[in-house]
Each structure stands twice: as C-alpha cells, then as structure tokens.
Amino acid sequence: MAVYTLVSDENLEAFLAEYDVGEVVSAKGIAEGVENTNYLIHTERSHFILTLYEKRVAEKDLPYFLGLMEHLAGRGIRCPVPVHGRDGKALRRLAGRPAALVTFLDGVCLSRPQAHHCRALGETLARLHIAGADFAPRRENVLGVAGWRPLFERSAARADELAGGLVHLITGELDYLEASWPDDLATGVVHADLFPDNVFFIHDAVSGLIDFYFACTDAYAYDLAVCLNAWCFERGGELNATKARALVEGYEMARPLDRADREALPMLCRGAALRFLLTRLYDWFHTDDRALVRRKDPLEYLARLRFHRGAGSPASYGL
Amino acid sequence: MAVYTLVSDENLEAFLAEYDVGEVVSAKGIAEGVENTNYLIHTERSHFILTLYEKRVAEKDLPYFLGLMEHLAGRGIRCPVPVHGRDGKALRRLAGRPAALVTFLDGVCLSRPQAHHCRALGETLARLHIAGADFAPRRENVLGVAGWRPLFERSAARADELAGGLVHLITGELDYLEASWPDDLATGVVHADLFPDNVFFIHDAVSGLIDFYFACTDAYAYDLAVCLNAWCFERGGELNATKARALVEGYEMARPLDRADREALPMLCRGAALRFLLTRLYDWFHTDDRALVRRKDPLEYLARLRFHRGAGSPASYGL
C-alpha cells in the first residue's frame, strides 16, 4: 500500500458508533489497493470494508464515487455499497481523512485469468455500462486524451532513462492520438481501471467489482479497451486473441457494440495503453523509494502500445 | 509489514485443498505482525489466518510454536489453533515459505489499555503459564540474558549515535545483569512478547493471545516483567503504579507469585527493558530504509531501563 493511516481502537469505535452495524468483533488493516488505507471490519452482524481516502483521491470526487456505487448496487451490479450512518451520511472523517464504510464482497482476484473469465468479465462490464446509463452526475476523465500530454510532461525529462527513444515515441503518439481521437462514440459511466485486481470471482463467475476511484464519463468502448489491455495479453507481451474475442463476445451478450465502437477499438486500445504507460512512468520516477509501494513496470505497456500501433483493424485482435 | 510474500490464487487454492475447511470465498493480505506474511481467509465454513513464515522465524522452531498453540488451545487458552490437513500435517510450504493455517480470533487490540485491562491481562498470563506447565518440549530463550551481549555487539559501534553514553550504560547493565541474574525462579512456557499488539479484547475481556513466535522456556516472573514494561508505562515514560499493581494482582488471582519471584521483579524488569532496548537498537541500525517496517523507538526502553535501575524493591512499583 502507498500510505497507511493507523486508526486507534477508540477512534474506530467512535466512528462505527455512528452506524447501525452492531458491535465490532475484529478490525484488520488489509494490504489491498495502493491508493487508500483499508480495514476489514467484522461486526456481530456482517463484514465491511472501512476505507480512509489518502491524498491521491480528490475529496471533491468522493460523493460521485460513493453515489455511483450505490446507484450501481441498486441495479444489481455487485460492488461495495456505501453504508449510511444514523445521520444519513455515507461519508465522514476518521483520523484526519475522509472515510467511508462499505459492504464487504466475497470472491478472489485471479492471477491468471483464462478466456472464460474474460468472457464473464466482458458481460459484467456491459451490465455495468447499462446500469450506469441513468446515473445523472458526470465526472470528466482526468486521465483521458486531454490529460495525457500534461501528465507526460512531468516525466519527459527522465523517460529516456527507462528506454531509449521513449520520449520520441510518446510524443509521436500524443500528436497522433490528439488529432485522431474519436468524439462520436456512445458515452456514459465507465470504470476505467478494471484490472484483474479489481474483479472478484467465485467458481469462475464474477462475484464483485471494486475500486471505482477512476470511474468517470467516457466512451463505453474505451472501458472495453482498458480491459483488453489488462486481461488479454500474455506475460511475454503477446496478444491472446482467444481472450480478446471472449471479452468482446461476452460484452456483446449484454450490450452489442455499434459499428463505430468496434472500428474505434484499435485506436482506443492504443490510447488506453498510452494512459497506463504514462501513469506508470510518472509513478516510476515520482514514487519515494521508502513508500510502501510496489511500482509497476511501465514497459509492459510500451509493449502493448507497440502492438496496437501495428494493428490495422479489429481483425488484428481476432475480432 | 517487514516482508510480504504474494500468493497467487492458484497456489492458494492448491494449498487450501490440502485441508478440509470448505471453499475459499475471500483472501486478503493483512498488515498484522512485522515478522511474517499473513492472509485472512474466509471459507464457506469459517475464518482463518494463513501465515507464511519469513526468515526472521527459524524454521526449526516452527513445530515448537505450532505444538504449543495447539497444547494451550486444548487447555482453554484462546489462541490461534493450527489446522491439520487431510494428511495430518499442520506445517507445509507455500510460495517457497513454511506456512500454516490457524483459526481466526475475534477481538481488537487496545491502543491505550487501562488498569482493568492490565488486570485481565495478568490473569490471562497466569492461566497461560499454568496451561503450559505440562507442555514437554523446551526451547531456550535466545533473547535471554546470555544472548544480550552478543546482540549488543552487533550495534555497539553505532549506539552512541542514538544517545550519548549509551554504550557505557548498556555495557554496565550487561556486566551487572550477567552477574546478578537469578537462576532459581519457577520456569516453564512463557510468551515473552505479550505486548498490547498481541492481545485481543472484546468488552474489556481478553478474547485471544497471538504471536507465539518468541515463546520459550524461561522464568514465569520474567514474562510478567515483559508485560509490566509493555503495559504499565505512560507515553511520557512514567510508571503507572496503578496499572502495575492491577497486572500483578490479576496474575496472582490465578497463580500466586512466591517470594523469590516477587523480590526478583525489579531485576527482571530491568533485564526485560534491556532486551527490548537491544532488539530495537539492532533493528534501528539494521533495517533497510526501504523495508516495509515501522521502526520502534529504542529510547522508549532506555527510559524504562533508567526507571528500573532506580527501583530498589517491588515497593518502587507500588507492589
């Protein structure tokens, strides 16, 4: 975890007394998520996750994220549900941080998802998009195409240390993607970070989605492109076309893509690969060595980006 | 945590298939304990802690620790109970580490224990000593009086960086304690590390003891002296005599101290303070800055040591 806020037993007890959840029988800090501090809380009645939002999550966005989880849960998406206190509030403060209590989800993350998991994920993603369609609040994707160049500028001076020619390659990508990025695709609520870490399974079925702290309003097909990058490449960097097809077929079982979405997929995948390359690059150079963080390798996403640059059409993905 | 071994879902599933505990519904790495990697596992039937023993725990000692927990649990001490696999084994390997599955204990640690908690702790400690009396295996206290000088030698060159005169003071303590340390006290199984972190409470009653990885054969009153150091000093370093008396009274409710034990308490407290001063000093200079560890301040134990040096008799503790 990146940051870890310790909560004393007295402060925890006082915090939980604001909720009607029964008495605490256990509270453990868990090593999940790199953005926030999480405690797994057992009460007499149920299990919960208590999240303390650290500075990487903007406090002003929390009502959007919590409201979205509640909205989606009300439409059958299995995600953490914010618990409201006796005063009606779901968001309060603990140990100097914004904090919320949400329901606990069963399930485990997969280290090596198979094609049938990609299919299940695709269908779940489409159902998330459908369930979010009538969620009124909007949130701009601050890590969308307009945010990439300013983000890159914060790492550009050192990027070539990591791989020769990286600055040249990324600059060319930014020029190309800014000029060509589609703005006519179907948009709505997207998760925008649906990596295997954020998807729980039980018996090969998706049992829950977590970590909605990058959710925003963007093209649905971009969310699918994020998943294609995160779920459908082998460790050596090769595309697994069987998984890509399973992901998209699963998606279309619940929400068929229209022609523009499908045609845009190679471009959206290219943008999604650049987005994760850029955030990993930033973290690579800006993470304090002492922080409790496992830095992720930016070059994994350079390899994906190269694949997408060479992809002419959906057929390059086996679609 | 000091070290963190990641376990893949497939390896976890294969490991747990060796046990008759039902299917896994959730597995979370928890930030508990600085010595080992711990996962909180929910199965269909119950909750467990899965511990992967990192290198600070000697593998040859694991049968002693696991056997002791099982022995104590069988005599009514609430502690983690090692779960045996279908093959009868409680200790196996996972991700290259020795690993064991133990039962989960409810309860929370107290950040600021009060006198009545010290009383409850004292009684529990005495019950642990009684329950361990017929545990046949023996384990030397490697952090006992004979181990302190070699331990200090590994930090001595830098100790004065932390506080002027520290080398002189510690050398004098070692000379004195080695010459005067009692060897005629009642001995048996001791926990030897019963800090507030290792004691769970529910409704002011002790609900469980954990972390038996320093347990060994030593003087019972030494275990009480460790607790007196860990539970009965204020944050400013002053002795809280009410808590000290409550601790000892609680202990004697279940197991009266004999005269020699009681008279030896100031010396044992002095030794216990030196033991924690020395291990913290060692960690202070030998912990990699990048390790995921919160170093503990050695000087807290220097203050305690100074108190004990000035204590003439049990009366100095309000006893």
Q: Where are the domains of chain B?
A: 9-103, 115-317
Q: Do the chains contact at B110 and A9, CB–CB below 8 Å? A: yes
Binning pLDDT at 50, 70 and 90, where does residue B294 land? low
Share of chain B above pLDDT 70, in %: 96
Which single residue is written with the structure tokens 């309003």? Answer: A217
Residue A294 has a pLDDT of: 62
Any chain B CB within 8 A of the CB of A58?
no
Q: Residue A293: its pLDDT value, please?
A: 52
pLDDT interval class at B289 (50, 70, 90): low
Interface of A with B in 9-28 (CB under 8 A): 9-10, 12, 24-28
Q: Please, which residues have CB within 8 angstroms of residue A25's CB and are 6 or more apart in sequence?
A: A42, A43, A44, B106, B107, B108, B202
Chain A window 220-279: which residues touch B at a Cβ cutoff of 8 Å? none
Full DSSP string of chain A = --------HHHHHHHHTTSSS--EEEEEEE---SSSEEEEEEESS-EEEEEE--TTS-GGGHHHHHHHHHHHHTTT-----BPP-TTS-S-EEETTEEEEEEE---BB--SS--HHHHHHHHHHHHHHHHHHTT-----B-TTSHHHHHHHHHTTHHHHHHHSTTHHHHHHHHHHHHHHH----S-EEEE-S---GGGEEEETTEEEEE---TT-EEEEHHHHHHHHHHHHSB-TTS-B-HHHHHHHHHHHHHHS---HHHHHHHHHHHHHHHHHHHHHHHHHHHHS-TTSS--PPPTHHHHHHHHHHHT--SGGGGT-
Chain A residue with the nearest C-alpha to that of B202: A25
Rounded CA-CA distance A78/A69 in Å is: 9
Residue of A237, A255, A235 lying closest to A113 (CA atoms): A235
In CATH, what number does B115-317 get?
3.90.1200.10
Q: Give the number of other Cβ atoms within 10 Å of residue B201's Cβ.
A: 20
Please check the confidence at residue A157 and state whether its pLDDT lies above 70.
Answer: yes
**What is the Cα–Cα distance from B80 to B246, expressed in whole angstroms?**
26
Average pLDDT estimate for A228-245? 95
Cα separation, B211 vs B194, whole angstroms: 8
Give the tens place of pLDDT for each residue, A190-217: 999 999 999 999 999 999 999 999 999 9
Window 116-135 of A, Cβ < 8 Å to B: none
Rounded Cα distance, A70 and A47, in Å:
17
Choose among A165, A150, A161: nearest CA to A306.
A165
Question: Which residues are registered as beta bridge partners of A28?
Answer: A40
CB contact under 8 A, B30 and A25: no
Nearest CB partner across the interface for A26, out of B12, B27, B106: B106
Total residues belonging to chain B: 319
Please state whether beta strands A47-52 and B37-43 pair in parallel, antiparallel, or not at all (unpaired): unpaired
Q: Which residues of A touch B1 (CB under 8 A)?
A: 31
In whole angstroms, give the CA distance from residue A167 to residue A163: 9
pLDDT range class, residue A174, cuts 50, 70, 90? very high
**Predicted model pTM:** 0.87
Q: Is A289 close to B289, i.e. CB distance below 8 A? A: yes
Looking at residue B282, its amino acid is Y
In this predicted structure, the answer to whether residue A303 has a pLDDT above a threshold of 80 is yes
B1, B9, B25 member nearest A110 (Cβ): B9
Output Rg (C-alpha) for chain A, integer angstroms: 20
One DSSP character per residue, chain B reads --------HHHHHHHHTTSSS--EEEEEEE---SSSEEEEEEESS-EEEEEE--TTS-GGGHHHHHHHHHHHHTTT-----BPP-TTS-SEEEETTEEEEEEE---BB--SS--HHHHHHHHHHHHHHHHHHTT-----B-TTSHHHHHHHHHTTHHHHHHHSTTHHHHHHHHHHHHHHH----S-EEEE-S---GGGEEEETTEEEEE---TT-EEEEHHHHHHHHHHHHSB-TTS-B-HHHHHHHHHHHHHHS---HHHHHHHHHHHHHHHHHHHHHHHHHHHHS-TTSS--PPPTHHHHHHHHHHHT--SGGGGT-
Interface of A with B in 75-104 (CB under 8 A): 104
Q: At which residue do the structure tokens 């959710």 appear?
A: A215
Pick from B30, B107, B109: CB nearest A25: B107
Best mutation target, B1, B6, B9, to test chain A (most A CBs within 10 A): B9
- Interchain proximity B289–A290, CB inside 8 Å: yes
- Shortest Cα distance, chain B CAs vs residue A206, angstroms: 12
Report, as an integer, the average pLDDT of B259-280: 97
pLDDT at B295 over 80: no
Interatomic CA distance for residues B146 and B148, integer angstroms: 6
- Closest approach of chain B CAs to the CA of A266, in angstroms? 31
Tell me, what's the pLDDT at A31?
77
Separation of alpha carbons B290 and B257, rounded Å: 45
| Nearest neighbour of A29 by CB, restricted to B31, B111, B290 | B31
Nearest Cα neighbor of A293 from A279, A275, A274, A307 is: A279
- Evaluate whether B9-103 and B115-317 have a shared fold: no
Mean pLDDT of B127-147: 97
How many pairs of residues across A and B have Cβ atoms under 8 Å apart? 77
A133-142, B24-33, B38-47: segment of lowest average pLDDT: B24-33
pLDDT of residue B290: 46
Angle at B232 between CA B230 and CA B235, to 5 degrees: 80
Of the candidates B26, B104, B202, the beta carbon closest to that of A107 is on B26
> Quick one: pLDDT at residue B33?
64
Q: What's the mean pLDDT in B66-80?
A: 97
- Cross-chain residue pair B31–A26, CB shorter than 8 Å: no
> Do B73 and B81 form a contact (C-beta atoms < 8 A)?
yes
What residues pair up with B200 in beta bridges, in sequence order? B208
Give B4 or A154, the one with higher predicted confidence.
A154
B-chain CB neighbours of A34 within 8 Å are none
Mutate to test the interface with B, among A1, A28, A294 (most CBs of B within 10 A): A28
Q: Output the average pLDDT for chain B.
A: 93
A9-103 belongs to which CATH class? Answer: alpha beta
Min distance B2 CA to chain A CA atoms (Å): 10
Lowest-confidence region among A229-233, A247-251, A310-314, B114-118: A310-314
Q: Quick: pLDDT tens for B157-213.
A: 999 999 999 999 999 999 999 999 999 999 999 999 999 999 999 999 999 999 999
Q: Which residues pair with B201 in a beta bridge?
A: B108, B206
Is residue B3 scored above 70 in pLDDT?
no
Pairwise CB contact (< 8 Å): A9 & B292: no
Give chain A's mean pLDDT.
Answer: 93
**Backbone phi, psi, residue A256, to 5°:** -60, 140
Name the residue among B4, B8, B30 with its Cβ closest to that of A29.
B30
- Cα separation, A134 vs A105, whole angstroms: 24
Q: What is the pLDDT of residues B93-108, one digit of tens each?
A: 999 999 999 999 999 9
Q: What mean pLDDT is predicted for residues B208-233?
A: 97
Sign of CA dihedral A140, A142, A145, A147: positive
Using one digit for the tens of pLDDT, what is the confidence trace for A243-302?
999 999 999 999 999 999 999 999 999 999 999 999 999 989 887 654 445 678 899 999
